[in-house]
Amino acid sequence: MKTKTKNRLVRAAFLLAAFSAFDSQLLTARAQGTAFTYQGQLQQNGSPASGTFNLTFTLFNLESGGSALAGPVTNNGVIVSNGLFTVLVDFGAGVFTGQTNWLQIGVETNGVNPFIALAPRQQLTPVPYAIYAENAGSAASANSVAATNITGTIPVVELPSSVVTNESASVSIGGSNAIAPLTVPPTVPVSAVGSVTTGSEPRSVAVAGRYAYVVNEGSNTLQIFDVSSPAAPVGISSVGTGNSPVSVAVAGRYAYVANDGSNTLQIFDVSSPATPVSVGLVSTENEPDAVSVSGQYAYVLGFDGTLQIFDVSNPSAPVNTGSTGTGISPFSVAVVGRYAYVVNANGSSFQVFDVNNPAAPVSIGVLDTGAHPVSVAVAGRYAYVAEQSGTLQIFDVSNPTNLVSVGSVGAGTTPNAVAVAGRYAYVVNTESDTLQMFDVSSPATPVSVGSVNTGDGPISVAVSGRYVYVANNLAGTLQIFNLGGAYIQQFEAGAVEAGTLQTRDTVTVGNSLNVLGGLTVSGGARISGGLSVNNIVGGFSTNIIISGHTLYITNGIIMNAQ
C-alpha cells in the first residue's frame, strides 16, 4: 500500500502544460524530414522544474486507452530550465496519415525514478500532418473524388464580367500553375479611413481588440480609443501618467507605460476602458525609452544603457528582478520566447539577450546596423530594424548567437517605427510624413510596394487585422488605414495560417485551437473540450464555462483542470 500511495503522489507531482510549436517550414511545399519540435513546460510539486530529465513520447489513436501507433521514442538528458524544455520527436515516415492522434508523454528524473506517464495525453494539432502532405504533390488523383464524379456547370451569365472563362460551361484558372494558392495581398491605401485627435505629442500606440492605446508625451496622458468603427474612432477615456510617457504596451487587462521624464514604469488596469486606473508604479533606470511585455515580465530599456526586467505578476507591486548593460542608447525592444531583441540607437547595433533567467539576462549576440536604429520588430526567424539613416534592415535570428544581416531596402526620410504582419512590414517615416509598405516575403530582397501620406510627424505604428494605426507626433492625431484584403461571409477551411486573425462575430473551431502568441476575448469564451493554458497572469477572469469538464481557478492561476 505504501508503494502505491507513493507512486500516486509522484505522479501527481508532475504536471504538464504543453504546447506544440512546429517549424513553419513544415507548411511549405519543400520536402521535409519526419521530425518535429515539441516544446513544453514541466512542473514538479506545483513549481517549474529545473534539471535533467529523460522523456518518452508515444503516439496513440485515442485520448485514453487505444493502441500505440508509434514509439515510445526516448529523449535522454533533456535539460529543463525554469520548467521549459524543447525536444525533437521523430516517429518516422508513414505515421501521420490524416487521423486524429494523441501524444503520451512520460518523464523520469534522469534515471533516478521509473518513467511516470503524464495525464492527459496531448492531442496533436493539424500542423504535424504537413508531413503527410509531402506525398500530395505526386498524387495522380484525389483519394476519394474521381474526376468523373465532378459534374455541373455555371452559366457564364451568372458570373461577374471580371471572371475569366475558357468556355461558356466552365471556369478555369490559366497559367502554368493552374492549382496555385490563393493570395490576397493588402493594398496600399490612398488615404486614412479614420482619424481622431489625441493629446499633445503622441509618442506610442498599441492596439488590443477593439481598443487603441496612445501615450501623449506633451500632455502626460494615456488615452484609450474605441476603434471598432475604424471610420469613426472615438476617444473614451484619458488618465494621467508620469512625466513624458514615451512607450505603451498592452497585455490582458493591463497597460504598461514607460515614463521617460519621471523614470518610472507605470501599470494601468484597463479592464474598464472608460475608467482606466493606475494600479502600480516602480522606478526604472534613467530615461526609460521602451517597454515590452511577455508573460509575467515587463522589459524596459534605459537610455543610459540598460535592459531591466520587472516581474509584473502582481501589477500593484511590480518587482525589479534583473538587469544588464546594453549598447549605447538602447531605443526599442521586442521579446519573443526566451529572447529579447534590442536596437541601440547611438551605438548603431542590434543586440540579442537570453532572458530565460530573468534575474540574470545575458547578451548572446550583437551585430552592427545602419546609422541610428530606433525600432525593432520580430516575426518568425527574422528581425526587422528601422534605421533613421533611411533603411529597413532584415536580420536572420534563427541562431541568436550568430546574427546575420540578410537584406535591406531604402525607406522614406527618417523612418521611426516598424511593425510586421504576415509577409509585409509597415514603416512610418517621420520627416517625409508617410506610411510605407514593404513585401518581405523574400527577406534577402525586400521590396517597397508603396506609401501613403500621414499626418505631420508619424512616430509610431501598429497593425491589427486589416488596419494600420499611426500616431502622428506633431499633428496630434491617431490615423487608421484600411489595408483591404478579402471579406468572406462564411469560410470553412481544413487549416488556416494567419499572422493576425480578427473576427467580428462567432468563431467555431471543430478540432483544436493552437494559439502560439496571445489570445484576447472581448466577449465570452465557451470551451466544450479540454483547456490547456501555458500562462495566466493576474486574477481577472470574469467567467469561464467548460461543458463536460471542470476548471478551478484561484486568483487567475489554474490550480486543477480535469
Judge whether 488 lies within some domain.
Answer: no
Whether residue 339 sits in one domain with residue 200: yes
Number of structural domains found in the chain: 3
Residue 173 lies in a domain: no
Mean pLDDT of 530-535: 55
Say yes or no: 226 and 267 in one domain. yes
Same domain, residue pair 128 and 53 = yes
Residues 289, 240 share a domain? yes
503 is a domain residue: no
What are the E-state strand segments in 13-145? Answer: 14-20, 35-44, 47-48, 51-60, 68-80, 84-90, 102-108, 116-117, 122-123
Note the pLDDT of residue 540: 39
Domain with residue 348: its CATH number is 2.130.10.10
Mean pLDDT along residues 372-382: 95
pLDDT digits (tens, 9 = 90+) for 286-330: 999 999 999 999 999 999 999 999 999 999 999 999 999 999 999
The answer to whether the beta carbons of residues 289 and 304 sit under 8 Å apart is: no
Does the residue 292 lie in any domain?
yes
Q: Residue 64 above 90 pLDDT? A: no
Q: In this structure, is residue 363 part of a structural domain?
A: yes
Instruction: Give the pLDDT of residue 116.
Output: 81
Q: What pLDDT was estimated at residue 179?
A: 41
Statement to judge: residues 353 and 204 lie in one domain:
yes
Check whether residue 57 and residue 206 sit in a common domain: no
Among residues 86, 111, 136, which one ends one of the domains?
A: 136
pLDDT, residue 147, reads 52
Considering the domain architecture, whether residues 352 and 447 belong to the same structural domain is answered as yes
Q: Note whether residue 519 is domain-resident.
A: yes
Q: Are residues 388 and 443 in the same domain?
A: yes
User: Where is average pLDDT lowest: 22-36, 208-222, 292-306?
Assistant: 22-36
Do both 216 and 341 map to the same domain?
A: yes
Residue 422 confidence (pLDDT) above 50: yes
Asked if residue 118 and residue 226 are part of one domain, the reply reads no
Distances in Å between the Cα of 361 and the Cα atoms of 81, 242, 364, 395, 500 are 14, 27, 9, 21, 30
**Do 218 and 72 share a domain, yes or no?**
no
Which of 91, 120, 136 is at the close of a domain? 136
Using a pLDDT cut of 90, give the percent of the chain over it: 51
What is the span of the domain harbouring residue 537? 511-562
- What one-character-per-residue DSSP string does 313-357 give? SSTTS-EEEEEEE-SSSEEEEEEETTEEEEEETTTTEEEEEE-SS
Mean pLDDT of the chain: 80
* CATH number where 91 lies: 2.60.40.2060
Instruction: Please tell me whether residues 315 and 417 are part of one structural domain.
Output: yes
Residue 106's pLDDT band (boundaries 50, 70, 90)? confident
